[in-house]
């Protein structure tokens, strides 16, 4: 029984390499990382602080799916990689600052105290642990690096329920609500039970109420060939 971990250290080798390690049965993936580091390979680098699904720091890709390493029991043949769409610092450690800067773009980070107080009414969105699993699962990020991404949009929804939400709605029109494919991968990935896809659908409704419409609508033919006339 073994797992494969994608290793990367640009100081030694500019290309990543896959390395195999035995599975320590009965342990979580994060506990396996710790065991590997303390008994087999002290050079393995990874994040993991709380070990109980609270801090969100240990998220990685397992066979292409984002998971919290502290909540996952590894299986024979699993392939472990750093989170998609993040700059890799070393091995499984990534730089999350680029992703979290999208919160600033949508101004969902800098909210007034009064808004934060009201926002507590939306408890489920408040439980986000910034693990980036939803972001790493989103196929739109592969084709549009400027897409705001699911966790910023779910926070935008959290704040859009406030009385004065016009600025939030305005800021999510470009590379935001209309660029989502509604595939639901973000919802499946979230360890906190947050549903970014539903939040994005709600934001679309709010956008329409604010006078916006789907910019893709103009390009849809609905199966009709208007060049032939009627
Ligand atoms: S539903 Fe939208 S935001 Fe969520 S993963 Fe799919 S494309 Fe990305
Ligand atoms: S919405 Fe869920 S998956 Fe996305 S960062 Fe927050 S806790 Fe993680």
Structural domains of the chain in order of their starting residue, each with its CATH number? 2-95 (3.10.20.30), 97-216 (1.10.1060.10)
Kindly state if the Cβ of 181 falls inside 6 Å of ligand 1: yes
| Distance separating the N- and C-terminal Cα atoms of the chain | 67
CA of 187 to the centre of ligand 2 (A): 9
Q: E strands of 55-180, at which residues?
A: 59-62, 65-68, 79-81, 87-90, 93-95
Kindly state if the Cβ of 189 falls inside 6 Å of ligand 1: no
DSSP-based three-state secondary structure for 167: helix
At 164 the pLDDT is: 65
What is the number of the ligand 1 atom nearest to the C-alpha of 150? 3
At 113 the pLDDT is: 45
Q: CA 32, CA 89: separation in Å to the nearest integer?
A: 21
Kindly state if the Cβ of 148 falls inside 6 Å of ligand 1: no
Kindly state if the Cβ of 142 falls inside 6 Å of ligand 1: no
Q: CA 130, CA 208: separation in Å to the nearest integer?
A: 29
Neighbour-count burial of 229, counting CB atoms closer than 10 A to its CB (0-12 exposed, 13-18 middle, 19+ buried): exposed
Kindly state if the Cβ of 129 falls inside 6 Å of ligand 2: yes
Q: Atom 4 of ligand 1 has which residue's CA nearest to it?
A: 186
Kindly state if the Cβ of 118 falls inside 6 Å of ligand 2: no
Instruction: From 129, 155, 186, give the residue whose CB has the most ligand 2 atoms within 8 Å, as the site to mutate.
Output: 129
pLDDT by position in tens, the chain (length 230):
999 999 998 777 778 999 999 999 999 999 999 999 999 999 999 999 999 999 999 999 999 999 999 999 999 999 999 999 999 999 999 999 887 777 777 666 555 444 555 544 455 667 889 999 999 999 999 999 999 999 899 988 888 876 667 888 999 999 999 999 999 999 999 999 999 999 999 999 999 999 999 888 766 666 666 556 55
Query: Global pTM?
Result: 0.87
Kindly state if the Cβ of 71 falls inside 6 Å of ligand 2: no
Kindly state if the Cβ of 56 falls inside 6 Å of ligand 1: no
């Amino acid at each position: 029984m073994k797992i494969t971990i994608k290793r990367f250290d640009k100081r030694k080798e500019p290309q990543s390499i896959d390395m195999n390690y035995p599975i320590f049965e009965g342990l979580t993936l994060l506990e396996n990382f710790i065991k590997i580091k303390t008994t087999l390979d002290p050079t393995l680098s990874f994040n993991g602080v709380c070990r109980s699904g609270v801090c969100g720091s240990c998220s990685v890709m397992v066979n292409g799916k984002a998971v919290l390493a502290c909540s996952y029991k590894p299986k024979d043949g699993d392939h472990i990689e750093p989170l998609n769409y993040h700059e890799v610092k070393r091995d499984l450690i990534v730089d999350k600052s680029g992703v979290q800067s999208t919160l600033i773009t949508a101004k969902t980070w800098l909210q007034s105290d009064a808004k934060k107080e009201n926002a507590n009414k939306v408890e489920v969105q408040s439980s986000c642990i910034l693990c980036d699993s939803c972001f790493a699962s989103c196929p739109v990020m592969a084709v549009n690096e400027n897409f705001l991404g699911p966790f910023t949009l779910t926070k935008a929804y959290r704040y859009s329920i406030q009385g004065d939400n016009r600025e939030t709605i305005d800021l999510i029109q470009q590379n935001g609500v209309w660029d989502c494919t509604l595939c639901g991968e973000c919802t499946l990935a979230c360890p906190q039970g947050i549903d970014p896809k539903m939040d994005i659908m709600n934001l679309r409704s709010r956008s329409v109420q604010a006078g916006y419409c789907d910019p893709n609508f103009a390009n849809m033919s609905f199966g009709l060939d208007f060049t032939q006339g009627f």
